[in-house]
Amino acid sequence: MSHMPPPNASYTPAQIRRNRLILLGLVLAVAGMVVFWALGPYDTKDQSATLKAGDCFRNVGTDKDAKAKKLDCTDAHADYKVLKMNEDAVVDTLACSDVPGTTGSLTQSGAGKWFVVCFKENDEKGKK
């Protein structure tokens, strides 16, 4: 059985200060977890639909579920450069065949938004 102090027990200033520090530490830990959860280690919001020719990006998703994060072309993480954005395009494997230099494409369809992003490896990556 645990020992509980009587309801009228008095605490020393040192005990009060220690309890306040413990409470402050718990509050800061919870606040830190909330911020980490809200922002996460990486911004994984998909910015594919906002890309345009000349933009650079990094895939923060997977190969099967790509999610583009726009970056400055000189950023060390900007892996790809957009050559052409085909909005309202018919999504197929030949959508970028007429764009010289294309090494890959990112497609999205559904929810009334169809587009194909034609891109190549970013040759400005890491140059400042």
pLDDT classification of 88: cutoffs 50, 70, 90? low
79 and 122 in contact (C-beta within 8 Å)?
yes
Tokens of 19: 């309890």
pLDDT at 64: 83
60 and 69 in contact (C-beta within 8 Å)?
yes
Sign, CA torsion 98/103/109/113: negative
Pick the more confident residue, 95 or 124.
124
Write out pLDDT tens, residues 67-86: 899 999 999 999 999 999 98
- Rounded Cα gap, residues 94 and 105, in angstroms: 10
Tokens of 121: 């490896």
Write out pLDDT tens, residues 106-127: 887 765 678 889 999 999 887 7
Query: What's the predicted TM-score (pTM) here?
Result: 0.62
Write out pLDDT tens, residues 26-59: 877 777 776 655 555 555 578 888 899 999 999 9
Strand order in 56-59's β-sheet?
A: 68-71, 56-59, 80-87, 115-121, 104-108
